[in-house]
C-alpha cells in the first residue's frame, strides 16, 4: 500500500510521502477498532492524538475495506473516489501511517463481514518529526502495552444478527431495574426518544450494579449482574428474547466499583475495569461464561463512588469517568492499551453525586454517535452527547424514574 500510494503521487509529479512507525501505530489501532466493531467510521480529532506528533500543515484519513486481501487495491478504490483521491494527492502531506487488519470474513457465508480493513493517516509537518523514515521498516517502535494484559486468547468476530426479538435490541436502548428486581428495557426510537418500557427479567434483587454488554460476543446483548453479596453473574441474551441460565464470573466483588466495555483496542471481547476502595485500578480479562481468574493492576487514581467506561473524547478508545465523593467527575483517558494514559486526570464536571447511575450509549442521536445517560436522584433521566469530545448541554430523556436503577 505504501508503494502504491507513492507511485501514484510520483505519476502526478508530487513528492513521496515518508513513513513513521509511531504514526502507523495510530492508524493500526483505529483499523483494529473499526474491524472489531464492523463499522466503517472515521476517527474524530485523530490529529490531536499524541501519536500524530503535532502536525501543523494538514491532516487526512482514508478508510476502505475489501473481500480479498489485496491491500494495494484499496488504493485503486481511493483513486476512484474524488474525496479520497484529493487526500492521496494533497501536496501538503509528507508523512503517513498505515494500518491493516485482516479478519475471518467470507463473502459466501458471512456477507456482512469483510476480510481486509485499511486505514491511512496523512500528516503535513513543516519539520519532519524525529524517527521519520523513507519507507516502512524504520527503527521507531510504536507504543506497546506495558503490562500485556490486553492480549486476546483467541479471535472473536461477532455475527450480525437480527435483534428485533431480543430483549435488548440496540446499543442505544436503556435498561432499568425496579426495587423489586424487575428489569425493563426501553427501545431507542432515534433522536433521543424512547419507546414504552418492556419487562425483560425478574429476580434481580440484592443488586449493586447491572451492566449491558455482549459479553460472549455472539451478537446479542447480555446482562452482567453485580450483587451486594459479592457474586458476579452473566445472563446470556437470546436472539429470540429472554436470557439463558447465568454463568458465574466470580465472588468477592462487593467492594469494587466496576465498568464493563471494550477497554483493550486489540481484544474483541469486553473486559472489566475495577477501582478498589483505595483508588487502585484493575483489569480483568474476559474468560467467557466461566470464572474470571486473570487480574492485572493498571494504575491508581482518586477514590471514587462510581466508575463508568465511555469514549469521552471521541478518539475511538474507551475512557474512564469516575464520580468522586465530593461530586467531581474525573476523566482517565484510555489509549487502547491496558493502562490509562499517563497524564494529569482532569475534572470535567461537578455535582455528579446528584446522579445515581451512568450508562454509555451509542446511536442515540444518530448513527455512530456516542454519549452517556445519567439518572438523577430526582428521577429525571438526561443524556449528554459526546460526539464532539466533551460534555454538551444535556437532553432530558424522561422523568418518573424515582425508585429505579439505571443499568450501565
Q: Is residue 126 domain-shared with residue 202, that is, in the same domain? A: no
Decide if 176 contacts 402 (C-beta within 8 A).
no
Decide if 271 contacts 287 (C-beta within 8 A).
no
Q: Is residue 105 domain-shared with residue 193, that is, in the same domain? A: no
Say how far apart CA 62 and CA 74 lie, in whole Å. 10
Give me the mean pLDDT over the 2-18 stretch.
Answer: 95
Supply the CATH number for residue 323's domain. Answer: 2.120.10.70
| pLDDT for position 139 | 43
> Higher pLDDT residue, 292 or 104?
292
For 329-387, the pLDDT digits (tens) are 999 999 888 999 888 899 999 999 889 888 898 888 876 678 999 999 999 999 999 87
In-domain check, residue 333: yes
Q: Give the number of domains in the chain.
A: 2
Q: Is residue 180 domain-shared with residue 65, that is, in the same domain? A: no
Q: Which of 114, 133, 152 corresponds to the end of one domain?
A: 133
Please calculate the CA angle 32-59-98 and round it to the nearest 5 degrees: 35
| pLDDT for position 304 | 95
Q: Is residue 195 domain-shared with residue 89, that is, in the same domain? A: no
Q: Is residue 121 domain-shared with residue 18, that is, in the same domain? A: yes
| pLDDT for position 314 | 76
Least confident of 17-21, 227-231, 242-246: 17-21
Q: Is residue 33 domain-shared with residue 113, that is, in the same domain? A: yes
Q: Is residue 210 domain-shared with residue 341, that is, in the same domain? A: yes
In-domain check, residue 389: yes
Q: Is residue 201 domain-shared with residue 289, that is, in the same domain? A: yes
Say if residue 43's pLDDT is above 90. no
In-domain check, residue 151: no
Domain boundaries, position 42? 1-133
Least confident of 199-203, 232-236, 310-314: 310-314
Q: Is residue 115 domain-shared with residue 210, that is, in the same domain? A: no
Cell of 137: 521498516
Strands of the sheet containing 295-300, edge to edge, are: 257-261, 271-275, 280-284, 295-300
Supply the CATH number for residue 34's domain. Answer: 3.40.33.10
Q: Is residue 192 domain-shared with residue 298, that is, in the same domain? A: yes
pLDDT above 90 coverage of the chain, percent: 62
| pLDDT for position 10 | 95
Q: Which of 110, 133, 156 corresponds to the end of one domain?
A: 133
Q: Is residue 324 domain-shared with residue 251, that is, in the same domain? A: yes
Q: Is residue 248 domain-shared with residue 373, that is, in the same domain? A: yes
Going from the C-alpha of 357 to that of each of 5, 73, 382, the distances in angstroms are 48, 47, 11
For 143-179, the pLDDT digits (tens) are 556 666 787 766 555 566 889 999 999 999 999 999 9
Amino acid at each position: 500500500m505504501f508503494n502504491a500510494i507513492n507511485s501514484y503521487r510520483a505519476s502526478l509529479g508530487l513528492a513521496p510521502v515518508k513513513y513513521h512507525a509511531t504514526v502507523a501505530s495510530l492508524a493500526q489501532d483505529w483499523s483494529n477498532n473499526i474491524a472489531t466493531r464492523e463499522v466503517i467510521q472515521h476517527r474524530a480529532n485523530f490529529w490531536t492524538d499524541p501519536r500524530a506528533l503535532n502536525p501543523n500543515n494538514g491532516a487526512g484519513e482514508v478508510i476502505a475495506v475489501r473481500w480479498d486481501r489485496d491491500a494495494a487495491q484499496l488504493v485503486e478504490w481511493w483513486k476512484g473516489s474524488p474525496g479520497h483521491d484529493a487526500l492521496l494527492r494533497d501536496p501538503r502531506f509528507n508523512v503517513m501511517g498505515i494500518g491493516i487488519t485482516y479478519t475471518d470474513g467470507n463473502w459466501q457465508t458471512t456477507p456482512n463481514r469483510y476480510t481486509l480493513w485499511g486505514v491511512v493517516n496523512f500528516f503535513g509537518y513543516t519539520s519532519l518529526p524525529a524517527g521519520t523514515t523513507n519507507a516502512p521498516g524504520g527503527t521507531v517502535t510504536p507504543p506497546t502495552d506495558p503490562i500485556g494484559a490486553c492480549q486476546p486468547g483467541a479471535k472473536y468476530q461477532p455475527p450480525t444478527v437480527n435483534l428485533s426479538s431480543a430483549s435488548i435490541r440496540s446499543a442505544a436502548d436503556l435498561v432499568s431495574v425496579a426495587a423489586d428486581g424487575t428489569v425493563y428495557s426501553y427501545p431507542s426510537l432515534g433522536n433521543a426518544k424512547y419507546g414504552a418500557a418492556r419487562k425483560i427479567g425478574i429476580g434481580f434483587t440484592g443488586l449493586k450494579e447491572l451492566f449491558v454488554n455482549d459479553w460472549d460476543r455472539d451478537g446479542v446483548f447480555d446482562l452482567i449482574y453485580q450483587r451486594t453479596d459479592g457474586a458476579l453473574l452473566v445472563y446470556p441474551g437470546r436472539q429470540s428474547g429472554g436470557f439463558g441460565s447465568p454463568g458465574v464470573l466470580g465472588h468477592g466483588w462487593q467492594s469494587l466499583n466496576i465498568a464493563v466495555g471494550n477497554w483493550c483496542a486489540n481484544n474483541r471481547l469486553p473486559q472489566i475495569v475495577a477501582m478498589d476502595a483505595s483508588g487502585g485500578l484493575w483489569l480483568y480479562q474476559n474468560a467467557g461464561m466461566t470464572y474470571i481468574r486473570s487480574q492485572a493492576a493498571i494504575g491508581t487514581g482518586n477514590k471514587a463512588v462510581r466508575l463508568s467506561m465511555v469514549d469521552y473524547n471521541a478518539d475511538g478508545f474507551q475512557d474512564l469517568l469516575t464520580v468522586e465523593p465530593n461530586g467531581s467527575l474525573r476523566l482517565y483517558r484510555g489509549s487502547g492499551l491496558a493502562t490509562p494514559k499517563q497524564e494529569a486526570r482532569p475534572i470535567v464536571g461537578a455535582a455528579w453525586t446528584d446522579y445515581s447511575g451512568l450508562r454509555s450509549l451509542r446511536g442515540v442521536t444518530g448513527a455512530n454517535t456516542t454519549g452517556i445517560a445519567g439518572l438523577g436522584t430526582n428521577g429525571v433521566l438526561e443524556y449528554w452527547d459526546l460526539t464532539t469530545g466533551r460534555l454538551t448541554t444535556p437532553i432530558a430523556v424522561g422523568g418518573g424514574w424515582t425508585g429505579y436503577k439505571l443499568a450501565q
